[in-house]
Structures are given as structure tokens and as C-alpha cells.
Amino acid sequence: MKLEKYEDKSKKKRKIVLISISVIVLIGISFLLYKTFASFTESAEFPMMKGKVDYFGNSDIYFAFYKGDEQLDEMPQKGNEENLVFDHAECDNGASIEWNENEWAPLVKGLNKVKTKCSLYFKEYDPDIAVNYIIDLAKTDTTNLMADDTSEANIRYVGATVNNYIDIGDRDGDGNPILWRIIGVMNNITNLDNGGRQESLVKIIRAESIGSYSWDSSAEGINVGYGVNEWSQADVMKLLNPQEVYSGTPTIGGSLYWNRGSGSCYSDSIEKNKTCNFTSSGLSEEAKNKIAKVKWNTGTFATRNTSEWTAKATYQAERGSHNGKEQCESKGGGNNCNDTVPRTTTWDGYIGLMYPSDYGYAVGGKVRETCLGRSMSSYDSGSCNTNDWLFTSSYTWTMTPAPYSSRADYVFDVCSSGYVGHNTAGYADRVQPVVYLSSSVKIIDGNGEKGTPYKTELAS
């Protein structure tokens, strides 16, 4: 009996020890989980609800949330009291975040490695920041501001007559404002001034032409002197931009518009040129400070098929992988396809020209839906051109190369009758510079009318 009692006590003692150890382990695990989830949440799928993420099995992605440099315990909710909005995200291991504003949720892309951390940054909403100003305006002005049908759902000014004039600080020789016009808010633009973040930026176009110049010209032995349809080395690109975005210092046209200089500019094939003077019409220092350096798209269609040139298809081609020479190369080339210039489909810089799709999507009024469903090669009919504020009744360059079976010098332009066509790069068309505003530009006054344009300043 004594032995039985001893064994019973021994078992109870061991049981107590095991329970104690289990409690200690559980407390330790709970503490570790608390410390982990106070800073991070974990998931392989979305959406996120109340700062947490639905858990779908084993996952190797972790999220941290920040307001500036301050780390938050959980993700701010849509419509939060602090009026915080999503700013940007940073992921390691090559992953990236695409933010869905409507769902208020991130979508992770490029998740190829384990233990990936993504930090989501939020900031206080400022209604005067130009992007926010236009987005808010589009909520009430649904006639002149519309989202396009692209995957980016960019907001654009549409119609024949729109109040989208903006003053970014340029002045002529008499001190009068040199105005620009807002094309719209473009989403998922790579802002190189902000470390290559994907941002929404306001895109603007010079209200008036700065003159008619060659897109590119060349010696007679290169593409028969008609120029090369590669934007990264185009003469007009060098005219508009600072030298830092291209190599070498051209003796003709180089950076004259950017530097408010004067000299000679290319104006025809076989490197013909004329006198040009931008001392009172070039960029001011104030305007330069408001322009973002971004990654531009310079792709085009694989082949020339004018029936395909709808605004949406052209927008996709501009962001595609085809260039302006590959079709003529595949057909055996020829004297109009003999240049040796490497082709690219993106370009890093400050000043470009409008895309053909910018012109296509600017159509408004009752004909908008019909026009968006047709090729821009027929915008000269059906009142498409007369309901498009970017139509000028003059040949105007775009920055997009045009493919052709026997030529490497064609570039898309908007023709004088209003349809989108192409011209040889050496010829002189109107040039209207296009830029993206810095994400820190604010609209502080004005209503967009020509007499009372939007006035701007840089956020402090």
C-alpha cells in the first residue's frame, strides 16, 4: 500500500511538471506571435481586412505598415480618421506591390522567393497636390474628365472645349505666362526622381507649338537621309531635353529648348536645318523644377495595319515590345532601312511628345464611344477630330515610331485633317512638348480657364 501511494504521488508530480512546462512553452509562443504580428502580418492571398490578412496555409510574405518613418501596428483602414492614403510600397527579393484603391488592398507581384518582406507606406491626404486635385475634380465633372478603358484607368480631359490650362512658371519675353494644358492623371508611371516608384502623375502638354522641326534627320547614306525612328537618339528629343539624358553634345539643336538657347535646328531630310530661338519661349528654371524624370514607353505595333489603330490597341502597343525597325528588317531591309541604331522600347527622360493614344482618348461628347471603337486612322470622319481638344488642324508629331515593311524612318503623327497617320522623321511637323509634373506640385489657384489657369507651386 505504501508503494502504491508513492507511485501515485510520483505520477502526480510528473504531471504537474509537464503541465508547467507546457504552460511556459505556450506563454513563450504567444509572446513571440504577439511580437511578430504587432509589426507584420502574413499571407499568400488577399484581400486584407482590418489590417490583417486572411491566411491560406504556409506563407513566406510579411507586411509592415508605416506613416512616414513611424511604424504602425496595423494597416490604416479606408476612410480612417487621420485621412491617411496609400503612398508607395517597398518589397525585397524582387517582389512588387500594385495597390487597388477601390478594394483598399495590395496585390503582390513577382513573389518568387521565400521570406519576402513588403513595407506599405501611407501619408496624409493633401487635396491641393495636383494629382489629388484632378482626381477629386473628376468626381463631380463627369463630362470633361473621364477614365479611359485601359488597365490603368487613367483620368483624361475629353471633348472639344475643356478648361484644363495650367501655369507652371514659364514666361515669355514680356513676362506673360506660357501656358500648358492637362492631358490627365496617368497611373503606374515610373517616377525616376522617387527611386523608380510606380506613381500617379499629372501629364501636361504645351498649349502652343514651339515650331515645326524634324523628328530626326540623317545623312543621305542613312535611311536615304529621312532620319531614324528611334526616340532615344532623335534630334527632337535632344532639342527638348538636357544633355544628361543623351550622350554627346550635338552641334545642331542640342538642349536649346531646355536651356532657353538659340542656334540651328533640324527642319528637313538629309540634315537640313534652320535658325531657331528659344530665349523667350524655352523652359524657365521654375518650370524645370516642377517636371519629373520618368520612364517613357516607346514601343509600337508589330506591323502596319491601320485598322488596328484604336486608342486602346495603340496604348497597349506603345507599352509593348515591338520597335519601329523590326518589320522592315524582317522583310530584308533596303536603303530606307539601313541604319545601325539600336532600338529600345523605353526611355528615361524629362520631355517627350504626346502619344497617338493621348490624342485618341481625348475625344469626347456624344461621339466618344463610337470614336473609341474605330481606328484613329479614320478620326477625320464621324466628328471624332472636332470633338477632340488635342486636334489642331496642323501636322503634329507624336513620340511613337510607326512600323513599315520597307522603312525605318516613319513616325506617327496627327494629320491636319485629324486622323492619325505617319510621316517620315526628317520632315518638319509641329512640336508640342509633353511632361509629367513632379508628385510634389500643388494647384493653389485658378479654375483651368485660359484667362484664369491653374496656378502651381512646389509643396514645402
pLDDT of residue 66: 95
pLDDT of residue 15: 61
% of the chain surpassing 70 pLDDT: 87
Lowest mean pLDDT among 116-125, 141-150, 393-402, 421-430: 116-125
Q: Is the pLDDT of residue 108 over 90?
A: no
- pLDDT tens per residue, range 11-44: 556 666 556 666 565 655 555 444 444 444 444 4
Is the model more confident about 409 or about 197?
A: 409
Q: How confident is the model at residue 57 (pLDDT cuts 50, 70, 90)?
A: very low
Q: Is the pLDDT of residue 258 over 60?
A: yes
- pLDDT tens per residue, range 163-182: 999 999 999 999 999 999 99
Q: Is the pLDDT of residue 333 over 60?
A: yes
Q: Is the pLDDT of residue 362 over 90?
A: yes
pLDDT of residue 205: 98
pLDDT, mean of residues 408-419: 98
pLDDT of residue 99: 85
205 close to 434: Cβ distance less than 8 angstroms? yes
pLDDT of residue 46: 39
CA distance 45 to 47: 7
pLDDT of residue 113: 75
Q: How confident is the model at residue 208 (pLDDT cuts 50, 70, 90)?
A: very high
Q: Is the pLDDT of residue 296 over 90?
A: yes
Q: How confident is the model at residue 325 (pLDDT cuts 50, 70, 90)?
A: very high
pLDDT of residue 14: 62
Q: Which residue has the cell 463610337?
A: 370
Q: Is the pLDDT of residue 378 over 80?
A: yes
pLDDT of residue 19: 63
